[in-house]
Amino acid sequence: MSQPLSQPLSQPLSQRAALLSALALSLSLGACESKQLSEAEGCEALSQPCPEGTECALDPLGNPYCESSEAPIGPVSGSERGSPQAGQMSAGAVAAGSSAGHSGGSAGGSAGGSAGVAGGGGGALTAGAEAESCMGFQSSLKPAAGSIPDVMFVVDRSYSMVNSEDRWSPALNAIAQVTQSLEEGVAFGLTLFPDPLSASGEPSELSQCISWGRNPYSCEEDVAACAPGRVMHAPALNSAMVIQELLMTHRPLPDLATPTYSALQAAATALGERSAGSNKVIILITDGMPGCNFMLEPTSCDCLTSAPFFCEFEGFAAMCLDDQRTSDEVQRIAGLGIQTVVVGMTIGLPPEGACMPSGGCAYGGQRCESGRCVNLASGLLSELARLGGDPTGDYYSVEQLNELSAQITRAAAGFAPCLFDLPNVPEAYYDQLALYIDGEQVPSDPNRMNGWWAEAGRLELFGEACASIRDGQSHQVSARCE
């Protein structure tokens, strides 16, 4: 039968040392099977199972206790680096632990004595003795909860994404790759436009379309093509597979238009429902300019079709450029603390040239300015990015199809968090930490310019160290005491 933990501490030091040596010898000579059996029997004496992250073990006296399965470092009083406080000990310091237990009084000494013995084979700091180091600590770091951003992809599935060339597949592949790489540190969501689950629009839009002289059947088609954007998946960690399946299922279809305004509005509403304080971002991926505003006058709007007279003579209001309303929405969203980043494809823009005698332009998406027809896409996409607070100050331009994947990756990867929780390490030991990214050591930098610095349970990367994990790839960030 095991003795109470306090009994050996009342014996002379020489007797206790002899007892511990004899017990240690008998344990080392015993068979592994016998040791496991005795531990199982001793652990049955615990009043309740060990909590998560710990496991039952026996000290050399046969007393059961809960030992961390990850060798955590216990709390320490004081916050000065390099000046360990009383009440701590380094793992494996059996003699120091026993001595501190002897001189620390009945309660504190008991804890210190048992900790010193149990610490012989572990990597944990425990209470009851003098601190020396945090050797034995090693951990892969996870992004701090408050640093995990909510990123909503808002993806254009209008027919132009697959009509003349397949722009959808490289976009899908890039989104799949970056969400898979960053899904443990970024909460990704998905909004698609037009709505792939419904072809209904506002009754007022149908009435307005008919009022411009377009026949009811054509107006019904136009309204269906402009079905408002829908949030398909709210932002969440580990969402890569869900998002990929949604993109594969809801590819662009013929006659679908570009209701960008409604998609941004839906995405902002969903992000606004997320927890306060998190970084909220919309990444708009589109190959066209916004349309689908049935309140615009088709006889005087900037038409998006390749035959601009469709808007004026056919009452084709769905293809009027909806620039002002969309810009206003991006600005409104920014006021809510939601950033808008734009990946814009300007592949195959029509040639610019002299305006027609009537003052119009022969191609869609152009406006006659000072006698010359100017493409509107680049200027509008830049304006949306600027109003949305894009940190680059402009949109991610895609002028060639082979640029698409890289630009989507760049846009999303820039939000990988560089702030990490530093669990179970007292501040007194921060100067003993070494940080590694994918096995390469990164220097500390108290100036917070290029490297890392830890404070109050958090470790942050700065400069090139932060940039190195924002390339859209998966990286392991780990720390250990050296």
Q: What is the DSSP string of 154-170?
A: EEE--GGGTSSS--HHH
Which regions of the chain carry the CATH code 3.40.50.410?
Answer: 146-413
165 burial level (CB within 10 Å; 0-12, 13-18, 19+): middle
Residue that wins the pLDDT comparison between 111 and 436: 436
SS3 state of residue 179? helix
Per-residue pLDDT tens digits for 65-94? 666 555 444 333 333 444 333 333 233 333
Res 398 pLDDT > 80: yes
What does the alpha-carbon distance between residue 227 and residue 477 come to, in Å, rounded to a whole number? 44
Cα–Cα distance measured from residue 385 to residue 392, given in angstroms and rounded to the nearest whole number = 9
**Distance (Å, whole) CA 237 – CA 222:** 37
The pLDDT value recorded for residue 235 is 96
Distance CA 232, CA 159 (A): 19
Return the bridge partners of 65, or none.
Answer: 57
pLDDT digits (tens, 9 = 90+) for 285-309: 999 899 999 999 998 899 998 887 8
| Predicted local confidence at residue 5, as pLDDT | 38
Check the CA dihedral 369-370-373-374 and report its sign: negative
pLDDT confidence of residue 127? 36
Average pLDDT over residues 149-164: 96
Q: Superfamily for 146-413? A: von Willebrand factor, type A domain (3.40.50.410)
- Residue 348: both structure tokens together: 């195959």
Is the pLDDT reported for residue 33 higher than 60? no
Lowest mean pLDDT among 41-50, 287-296, 397-406: 41-50
401 contacts: CB under 8 Å, gap ≥ 6 = 165, 167, 170, 347
| β-bridge pairing 54-58 and 64-68 | antiparallel
**Exposure of 347 by Cβ count < 10 A (0-12 exposed, 13-18 middle, 19+ buried)?**
middle
Query: What is the mean predicted confidence (pLDDT) over 245-274?
Result: 96
Task: Give the pLDDT confidence of 312-358 residue by residue, as tens digits.
Answer: 888 888 899 999 999 999 999 999 999 999 999 999 899 999 999 98
Rg of the chain over all Cα atoms, to the nearest angstrom: 32
Q: Give the percent of the chain with pLDDT over 90.
A: 59
Q: Which residue has the higher pLDDT, 417 or 136?
A: 417
CB 211, CB 319: distance < 8 Å: no
Output the six-digit token pair for 81: 């680096």
123 three-state secondary structure = coil
**Mean pLDDT within 415-442:** 92
The DSSP symbol for 351 reads P
| Predicted confidence band of residue 464 (pLDDT cuts 50, 70, 90) | very high
Strand, helix or coil for residue 375: strand
Residue 53 pLDDT grade (very low, low, confident, very high; cuts 50, 70, 90): low
What does DSSP say about strands 477-481 and 64-68: parallel, antiparallel, or unpaired?
A: unpaired
The span from the CA of 371 to the CA of 135, in Å, is 75
Res. 103: pLDDT tops 50: no
Helix 168-182 × helix 240-249 angle, to 10°: 170
Could you tell me whether strands 366-369 and 372-375 are parallel, antiparallel, or unpaired per DSSP bridges? antiparallel
pLDDT at res. 98 = 34
Q: Strands 433-437 and 477-481, how do they pair?
A: antiparallel
Q: For Cα atoms 460, 81, 147, give the angle at the middle one, nearest 5 degrees.
A: 20
pTM: 0.73
The 10 Å Cβ neighbour count of residue 359 is 8
What are 64's two structure tokens?
A: 């059961």
Higher pLDDT, 209 or 62: 209
Q: What is the DSSP letter of 320?
A: B
